[in-house]
């Protein structure tokens, strides 16, 4: 359904007020390839600044990528003009992280959800639009009478349900969930995860699930891609990736996640990856992970490793693992 080829997004950095000149690039996304099949959920994980959100924004064409192709149902989205994007946006929606800032505080919940329907002229009749809003609210587990409330009258979990209802308003096929459950409390997070799963089944949705919480990603996704500094370093079926991580960065990431059980924690050995994520303005040469990598050899500083399929469906960008 979605195929991303060689996607790159470089943001120019300029200097000077009057005669501004370009002095470099932030290579937020630097050559990313993946595909998502219809009905599939692909998890995109990584730490802040790894480019996962920018990747999502490029697919939604909220950014025009610097290079690469994004094929949505065979159509190249990356070079589309504004007017052609309108049709596309009915089929692709997004759920944002922060249910506080992504809902207009001056609009009633009902109007927030009805807005995309109105903008796209799907349902000109106000009465039928109201009925549709009620239906969407109840699909998302909210009482239809919430339509007359304002976002500030609701809890974080309820607001996120409103964000989901809005994303569903146009019957999309594909939804980018950008940290959709990260801002929620533990007890509410599980409710929303379950809702996303139910909706996927009910409406045959395809998700790109962008998150940093690995345990949620493992629960919800069929396939997972791990990003580091603008590149995918490992990609595999969910169980394979978590049971058998091959890239040293994925291993470091997994061992860093604390398990909510003191007995397990007491027996675990973890060596936190040393150092910090380098700047995407001037990324390390060769393999971008080499300065923090316990397995790095001389060669890693020179050649950029390519994603290789080491086992069926399991892709790793590391020259040292076999």
Q: Evaluate whether 161 touches 139 at the Cβ level (below 8 Å).
A: no
Residue 177 in the binding site for another protein (CB under 8 A) = no
Max Cα–Cα distance, the chain, nearest Å: 68
Q: Which of 62, 85, 86, 256 binds another protein (CB under 8 A)?
A: 256
Residue 269 in the binding site for another protein (CB under 8 A) = no
Give dist(CA 21, CA 86) in Å, integer. 34
Q: Which of 16, 121, 127, 260 binds another protein (CB under 8 A)?
A: 260
**Residues in contact with another protein, shown as a per-residue x/- string from 9 to 48 under the rule CB under 8 A:** --------------------------------------xx
| Binding span for another protein by CB under 8 A among 13-21, 234-242, 300-308, 310-318 | 234-242
Give dist(CA 244, CA 221) in Å, integer. 16
Strand order in the sheet with 206-211: 92-95, 174-178, 206-211, 41-45, 223-228, 231-237, 314-316, 308-311
Judged by beta carbon, residue 4 or residue 162, the one nearer another protein is 162
| Binding span for another protein by CB under 8 A among 92-100, 132-140, 169-177, 209-217 | 209-217
Q: Evaluate whether 196 touches 179 at the Cβ level (below 8 Å).
A: no
Q: Which of 15, 84, 135, 265 binds another protein (CB under 8 A)?
A: 265
Residue 156 in the binding site for another protein (CB under 8 A) = yes
Residue 48: CB atoms within 10 Å: 8
Q: Which of 17, 19, 81, 186 binds another protein (CB under 8 A)?
A: 186
User: Of all residues in the chain, what percent are helix, strand and coil, respectively (each to 5)?
Assistant: 35, 25, 40
Q: How far lies 113's CA from each of 128, 146, 167, 183, 254, in Å?
A: 13, 11, 8, 21, 38
Rounded least distance, CB 189 to another protein, Å: 7
Q: Which of 74, 124, 272, 312 binds another protein (CB under 8 A)?
A: 272
Q: Which of 63, 191, 284, 286 binds another protein (CB under 8 A)?
A: 191
| Binding span for another protein by CB under 8 A among 23-31, 55-63, 185-193, 203-211 | 185-193
Rounded least distance, CB 81 to another protein, Å: 37
- Tell which residue, 298, 252, 240, 305, has the closest CA to residue 276: 252
Residue 251 in the binding site for another protein (CB under 8 A) = no
Segments of 123-266 assigned E as strands:
174-178, 206-211, 223-228, 231-237
Binding-site size for another protein (CB under 8 A) equals 45
Total residue length of the chain: 322
Give dist(CA 217, CA 114) in Å, integer. 30
Residue 253 in the binding site for another protein (CB under 8 A) = yes
Judged by beta carbon, residue 59 or residue 288, the one nearer another protein is 288
Residue 182 in the binding site for another protein (CB under 8 A) = no
Give dist(CA 310, CA 317) in Å, integer. 10
Q: Which of 11, 31, 108, 255 binds another protein (CB under 8 A)?
A: 255
Residue 244 in the binding site for another protein (CB under 8 A) = no
Judged by beta carbon, residue 172 or residue 245, the one nearer another protein is 245
Residue 238: CB atoms within 10 Å: 18
Give dist(CA 54, CA 62) in Å, integer. 9
Residues near another protein (CB under 8 A):
47-48, 155-158, 185-191, 193-194, 197, 212, 214-216, 218-219, 238-239, 242, 252-265, 270, 272-274, 276-277
């Amino acid at each position: 359904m979605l195929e991303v080829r060689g996607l790159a997004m470089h943001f120019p950095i300029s200097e000077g007020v009057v005669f501004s000149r370009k002095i470099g690039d932030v290579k937020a996304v630097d050559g990313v390839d993946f595909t998502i099949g219809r009905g599939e959920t692909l998890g995109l994980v990584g730490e802040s600044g790894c480019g996962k959100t920018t990747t999502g924004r490029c697919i939604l064409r909220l950014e025009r990528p610097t290079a690469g192709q994004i094929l949505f149902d065979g159509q190249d989205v990356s070079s589309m003009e504004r007017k052609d994007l309108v049709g596309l946006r009915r089929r692709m929606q997004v759920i944002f992280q922060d249910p506080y800032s992504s809902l207009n505080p001056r609009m009633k919940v009902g109007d927030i959800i009805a807005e995309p329907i109105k903008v796209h002229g799907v349902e000109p009749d106000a009465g039928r639009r109201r009925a549709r809003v009620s239906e969407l609210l109840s699909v998302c587990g909210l009482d239809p009478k919430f339509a007359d409330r304002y976002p500030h009258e609701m809890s974080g979990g309820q607001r996120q349900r409103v964000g989901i209802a809005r994303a569903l308003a146009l019957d999309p096929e594909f939804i980018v969930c950008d940290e959709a459950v990260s801002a929620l409390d533990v007890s509410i997070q599980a409710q929303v995860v379950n809702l996303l799963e139910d909706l996927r089944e009910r409406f045959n949705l395809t998700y790109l699930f962008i998150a940093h919480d690995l345990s949620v990603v493992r629960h919800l996704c069929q396939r997972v891609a791990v990003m580091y500094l603008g590149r995918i370093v490992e990609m595999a079926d969910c169980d394979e990736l978590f049971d058998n991580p091959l890239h040293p960065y994925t291993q470091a990431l997994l061992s860093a996640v604390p398990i909510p059980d003191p007995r397990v924690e007491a027996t675990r050995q973890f060596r936190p990856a040393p150092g910090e994520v380098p700047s995407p303005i001037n990324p390390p040469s060769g393999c971008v992970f080499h300065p923090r990598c316990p397995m790095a050899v001389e060669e890693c500083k020179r050649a950029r490793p390519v994603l290789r399929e080491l086992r069926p469906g399991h892709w790793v960008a590391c020259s040292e693992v076999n």
